[in-house]
């Protein structure tokens, strides 16, 4: 072949090849280790059934129900089916297109001026075939973009499932914590009423004024006024939990009553580079970037000539029973080449649009990675801080309970005034309520850490398009 022809053809062929996805992460975006507090001994990554680490069988059952019936998970699964169908559509141009057409024509004329409609009868059976040569990779690039979108939809489904599971755990813990706080308030009311009985006896005996009785009545009303708000919080958490399970909120309830049986799981983080392989949202951003890059390749291939092969053959005859005679068979075939010469900048604009979208998705991928690192760091601090605060509050509650018991005894003996009892009682009640909230915060921090570490999910190596980071 003439060198003058060969060189341009080779250049065009190279231009049509798929190019590698741009590397989105530079070393300065990848820390060597996490700086948050890490437990001395702990598994470094969550198990896929991480919620079982809280040691609560009811929670395990609720998670299973949510994974089966949650509406957001169902919608995400439908989006995966849509993406799979779109990939099938984009795969079709790689195959020949075949069609068959059958015809039957009748004609007649009832006057002398309708020669064009003379008596005719014809039958036809025609086969059509066409095949567009994907010489420059346009169809393959479009298919690659669709396959990456299918991966993105799968990763999004897994990310949503992880979020829903974490939300189920959080709302379940919310209900138990509010029930704890309601029980604490009722316990406090009972303690106030027992002191009220003593005060009433002392008022009748003239040993004290009605001031003490009024103070105690005000105290019990203050605590009872908090109960309706706590009951509202309980119902709201139950309603949210029901929706997460894909159930109507009416009549929904759970059997557990407090956080006493909920364990505080211990979990650690591995290397930050490994986190990139364990977060489905990062994998989703990675697939979106790969899809956008395939669209850039497709936009570049669209500038090149499109070549297609066509063929047609069939039978045409005046009688159906003679249609299959060899003399009635005809065929034709050819090659079509289409090259856009002027389109007002449409192809250029499409290429620029694809390149701009790719730049956006590079930034989105980098942002997803940075947010994932920050998410883990935040969760590590939350777990350590709330665990320390919970330990302090447990000791505070023990000391406050002892002080309240002593103040009650001294008041009954006349060795202390009511104000001392009220202060001790208020200190105990506040410490108990704060302990319930801090215990909830600690268990939910563990949920946050499990979620931040990917919940036991791991990306398949064959799905990766970004270079695997060093371990």
Assess if residue 4 is contained within a domain.
no
Residue 224 and residue 314 share a domain: no
pLDDT digits 0-9 by tens, 428-444:
999 999 999 999 999 99
Domain contains 91: yes
Q: What angle do CA 144, 147, 149 make, to 5 degrees?
A: 110
Q: What average pLDDT does range 368-375 have in this prediction?
A: 96
Same domain, 236 and 108: no
Is residue 5 included in any domain, yes or no?
A: no
Q: Output the pLDDT for position 10.
A: 44
Query: How much is the pLDDT for 11?
Result: 45
Task: Tell me the average pLDDT across 18-38.
Answer: 89
Domain that holds residue 44: 19-95+136-304+345-463
Residue 251 counted as domain residue:
yes
Q: Tell me the per-residue pLDDT of 231-265, one tens digit each, with 9 for 90 and over.
A: 999 999 999 999 999 999 999 999 999 999 999 99
Q: Does 318 lie in the same domain as 448?
A: no
274/244 same-domain check: yes
Is pLDDT above 60 for 14?
no
* pLDDT score for 324: 67
- My answer on whether 425 and 442 are in the same domain is yes
Residue 470 lies in a domain: no
Residues 298 and 313 in one domain: no
- Residue-wise pLDDT for 376-424, tens only, equals 999 999 999 999 999 999 999 999 999 999 998 998 888 888 889 889 9
If asked whether residues 254 and 117 sit together in one domain, one would say no
**Is the same domain home to 299 and 224?**
yes
Render pLDDT for 29-61 as a digit per residue (tens, 0 to 9).
Answer: 888 899 999 888 888 899 999 999 999 999 999
CA-to-CA distance for 149 and 193, rounded, in angstroms?
Answer: 65
Percent pLDDT > 70 in the chain is 90
8 part of a folded domain: no
Of 338, 358, 384, the residue that ends a domain is 338
Inside any domain, residue 286? yes
Per the model's pLDDT, the better-predicted residue between 187 and 198 turns out to be 187
For residue 394, the model assigns a pLDDT of 97
Render pLDDT for 305-334 as a digit per residue (tens, 0 to 9): 999 999 998 877 766 666 666 667 888 889
Distances from the Cα of 213 to the Cαs of 195, 208, 388, in angstroms? 9, 9, 39
User: If you write DSSP's letter for every residue of 305-354 in order, what string do you get?
Assistant: PEEEEEEEEEEEESSGGGTTSGGGEEEEEEEEEE-----TTHHHHHHHHH
Is residue 288, in this structure, part of any structural domain at all?
Answer: yes
Q: Does 239 share its domain with 104?
A: no
Domain end residue (candidates: 322, 338, 354): 338
Question: CATH number, domain at 118?
Answer: 2.20.200
Number of structural domains (the chain) is 2
pLDDT score of 108: 66
pLDDT for position 412: 84
105-128 pLDDT, tens digit each: 776 666 556 656 556 678 888 899
Burial 153-167 (b: 16+ CB within 10 A, else e): bbbbbbbbbbbbbbb
Are 333 and 193 contained in the same domain?
no
The mean pLDDT value for 206-227 works out to 86
pLDDT at 8 over 50: no
CATH number at residue 372: 1.20.1600.10
Is there a single domain that holds both residue 312 and residue 410?
no
Return the pLDDT at 117: 57
Query: Do residue 233 and residue 280 come from a single domain?
Result: yes
């Amino acid at each position: 072949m003439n060198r003058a022809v060969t060189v341009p053809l080779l250049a065009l062929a190279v231009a049509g090849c798929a190019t590698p996805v741009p590397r989105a992460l530079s070393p300065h975006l990848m820390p060597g280790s996490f700086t948050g507090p890490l437990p001395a001994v702990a598994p470094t990554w969550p198990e896929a059934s991480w919620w079982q680490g809280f040691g609560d069988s009811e929670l395990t059952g609720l998670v299973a129900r949510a994974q089966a019936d949650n509406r957001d998970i169902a919608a995400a699964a439908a989006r995966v089916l849509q993406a799979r169908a779109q990939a099938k559509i984009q795969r079709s141009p790689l195959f020949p297109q075949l069609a068959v057409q059958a015809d039957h024509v009748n004609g007649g004329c009832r006057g002398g001026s309708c020669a064009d409609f003379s008596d005719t009868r014809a039958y036809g059976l025609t086969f059509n075939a066409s095949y567009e040569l994907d010489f420059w990779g346009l169809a393959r690039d479009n298919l690659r973009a669709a396959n990456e979108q299918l991966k993105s939809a799968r990763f999004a489904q897994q990310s949503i499932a992880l979020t829903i599971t974490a939300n189920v755990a959080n709302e379940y813990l919310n209900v138990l914590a509010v029930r704890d706080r309601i029980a604490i308030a009722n316990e406090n009311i009972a303690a106030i009423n027992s002191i009220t009985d003593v005060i009433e006896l002392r008022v009748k005996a003239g040993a004290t004024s009605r001031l003490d009785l009024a103070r105690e009545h005000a105290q019990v009303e203050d605590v009872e006024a908090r109960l309706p708000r706590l009951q509202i919080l309980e119902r709201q958490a139950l309603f949210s939990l029901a929706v997460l399970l894909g159930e109507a909120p009416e009549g929904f309830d759970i059997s557990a009553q407090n956080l006493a049986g909920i364990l505080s799981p211990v979990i650690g983080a591995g290397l930050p580079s490994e986190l990139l392989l364990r977060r489905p949202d990062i994998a989703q951003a990675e697939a979106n970037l790969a899809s956008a890059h395939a669209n850039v390749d497709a936009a570049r291939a669209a500038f090149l000539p499109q070549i297609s092969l066509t063929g047609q053959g069939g039978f045409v005859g005046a009688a159906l029973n003679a249609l299959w005679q060899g003399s009635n068979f005809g065929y034709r075939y050819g090659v079509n080449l289409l090259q856009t010469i002027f389109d007002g900048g449409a192809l250029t604009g499409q290429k620029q649009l694809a390149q701009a979208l790719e730049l956006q998705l590079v930034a989105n991928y980098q942002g997803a990675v940075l947010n994932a690192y920050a998410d883990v760091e935040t969760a590590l601090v939350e777990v350590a801080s709330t665990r320390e605060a919970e330990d302090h509050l447990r000791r505070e509650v023990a000391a406050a309970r002892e002080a309240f018991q002593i103040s009650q005894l001294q008041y009954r003996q006349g060795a202390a005034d009511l104000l001392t009892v009220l202060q001790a009682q208020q200190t105990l009640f506040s410490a108990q309520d704060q302990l319930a909230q801090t215990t909830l915060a600690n268990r939910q921090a563990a949920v946050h850490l499990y979620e931040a570490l990917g919940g036991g999910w791991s990306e398949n190596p064959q799905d990766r398009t970004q270079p695997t980071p060093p371990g």
